[in-house]
Amino acid sequence: MTTGTEDYYRARAAEYDLVYDKPERQDDLRSMRDWLRPLLAGRRVLEVAAGTGYWTAVYADAAAAVVATDVNAQTLAVARGRRHWPTTVSFSCADAFDLAGVPGDFDAIIAGFFWSHVRLGDLGRFLTGVSERLAGGGIAVFMDNRYVAGSNYPLARTDSGGNTYQRRTLSDGSIWEVLKNFPSPAQVRAACAPIARTVTVTELDYYWTAVCELGPGAR
């Protein structure tokens, strides 16, 4: 199973972090950084689709251990070079739909800005894979974009499965059609309900976050 965005993010790796420079988003990003670090403090974290490690850098010093994964070696190369990392942090290539092979025991999983790239029909399988890595209990953390006209690329089309797509241009002039969904809080809660005891969805101006508690009492 793929998101169809693998090649796009491989090509975008070197310029990806520019998305975090958008001036209108800085207050939200500051709030999310302040929120994330204590949330993952002391936890053994599996990061899925870590990309260039922007969020890894936010919480890595507070976490007990981190395995940051992505399907693309190119984005992970940017992540490795981002800063000096604690020895408790490692990076490795892994498919978000095949997390079983990632070595380690985890009590937290974070996937930032990945949910939006998963086809609606594939979300259940992705979330089941997440829950299987947290069978002993823990939290799953998701963060993603809300659609804000003028700040996001416009939606170019919707497919028969309800997935939405944007047309994006990279600095080399290449044009890409990228799957990008913008779920409502109710849709996020409904998707997480089968794997989670509790689901807390929070909306900021430009982003949403979800924290799922998983464990023995999970439905």
Ligand X SMILES: C[S@@+](CC[C@H](N)C(=O)[O-])C[C@H]1O[C@@H](n2cnc3c(N)ncnc32)[C@H](O)[C@@H]1O
- Residues lying near ligand X in the complex (CB under 6 A): 2-3, 5-6, 9, 49-51, 54-55, 70-72, 75, 95-97, 112-114, 117
C-alpha–C-alpha distance, residues 157 and 124, integer Å: 23
Q: Which residues contact 161 (CB under 8 A, 6 or more apart)?
A: 119, 120, 121
Q: Which residues contact 140 (CB under 8 A, 6 or more apart)?
A: 108, 109, 110, 111, 127, 130, 131, 134, 192, 195, 196, 210, 211, 212, 214
CB of residue 200 to ligand X, shortest distance in Å: 19
Q: Which is nearer to ligand X, 56 or 134 (CB)?
A: 56
* Secondary structure of residue 168 in the 3-state scheme: strand
CB of residue 188 to ligand X, shortest distance in Å: 16
CB of residue 124 to ligand X, shortest distance in Å: 15
CB of residue 176 to ligand X, shortest distance in Å: 13
CB of residue 140 to ligand X, shortest distance in Å: 14
Q: Which is nearer to ligand X, 154 or 216 (CB)?
A: 154
What values do phi and psi take at 23, rounded to 5? -60, -40
Q: What number of residues does the chain have?
A: 219
Closest CA to 215 of 149, 156, 138, 142: 138
Q: Which is nearer to ligand X, 72 or 131 (CB)?
A: 72
C-alpha–C-alpha distance, residues 124 and 121, integer Å: 7
* Secondary structure of residue 48 in the 3-state scheme: strand
Q: Which is nearer to ligand X, 9 or 91 (CB)?
A: 9
CB of residue 22 to ligand X, shortest distance in Å: 13
The pair of structure tokens assigned to 46 is: 């599996």
CB of residue 70 to ligand X, shortest distance in Å: 5
The partner residues of 177 in beta bridges, in order of sequence, read 167
- The single-letter code of the amino acid at 157 is R
Q: Which is nearer to ligand X, 111 or 192 (CB)?
A: 111
Q: Which is nearer to ligand X, 43 or 117 (CB)?
A: 117
